């Protein structure tokens, strides 16, 4: 399936407020529309660095700023939008076939990524011209 920018969604997660500290959670196929096969996280990003800069053919992802803040720019080959993540109780659902870049990481930010697939080098589209070709643009 070919996804476009409007398929990218900022999803609010449950937030159990408590004077002892708040709690949020994610259940697969309930709060996010896929089963989780892998979790990875990005941390200790030096100021000014950019992560991402690729698209995936198959994997769906959900990204939460567990700590700090960063921006994710999504590009479907026709239009682009930047989403700022800075809350532990929401996250960005990014379906496959979309170019993305992550930048403006704050000090001590922690990006948690839930993925629908195991790591696969073959799933990456690394060059932007290849991405446009893949999208038929």
Chain residues that interact with ligand TYD, rule: CB under 6 A: 38, 40, 42, 51-52, 54, 119
Q: 31 an active-site residue? A: no
Q: How far is the CB of 103 from ligand TYD (least distance, A)?
A: 11
Q: Of 54, 87, 106, 132, which is the active-site residue?
A: 54
The nearer residue to ligand TYD, 32 or 59, going by C-beta atoms, is 59
User: What secondary structure, in 3-state letters, does the chain show?
Assistant: CCCCHHHCEEEECCEECCCCCCEECCCECCCECCCCCEEEEEECCCCCCCEEEEEECCCCEEEEEEECCEEEEEECCCCEEEEEECCCCEEEEECCCCEEEEECCCCCCEEEEEECCCCCHHHEECCHHHHHHHCCC
Choose between 31 and 54: whose C-beta lies nearer to ligand TYD.
Answer: 54
> Min. distance of Cβ 67 from ligand TYD in angstroms?
16
User: Catalytic residues, which ones?
Assistant: 54
């Amino acid at each position: 399936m070919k996804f476009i920018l409007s398929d990218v969604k900022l999803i609010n997660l449950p937030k159990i407020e408590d004077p002892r500290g708040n709690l949020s959670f994610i259940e697969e196929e309930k709060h996010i529309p896929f089963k989780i096969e892998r979790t990875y996280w990005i941390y200790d990003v030096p100021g000014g660095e950019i992560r991402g800069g690729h698209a995936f053919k198959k994997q769906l992802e959900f990204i939460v700023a567990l700590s700090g803040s960063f921006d994710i720019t999504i590009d479907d080959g026709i239009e682009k939008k930047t989403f700022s993540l800075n809350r532990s109780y929401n996250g960005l659902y990014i379906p496959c076939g979309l170019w993305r870049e992550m930048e403006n990481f704050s000090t001590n930010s922690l990006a948690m990524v839930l993925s629908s697939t195991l790591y696969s080098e073959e799933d990456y589209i690394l060059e932007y011209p290849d991405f446009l070709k893949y999208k038929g643009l």
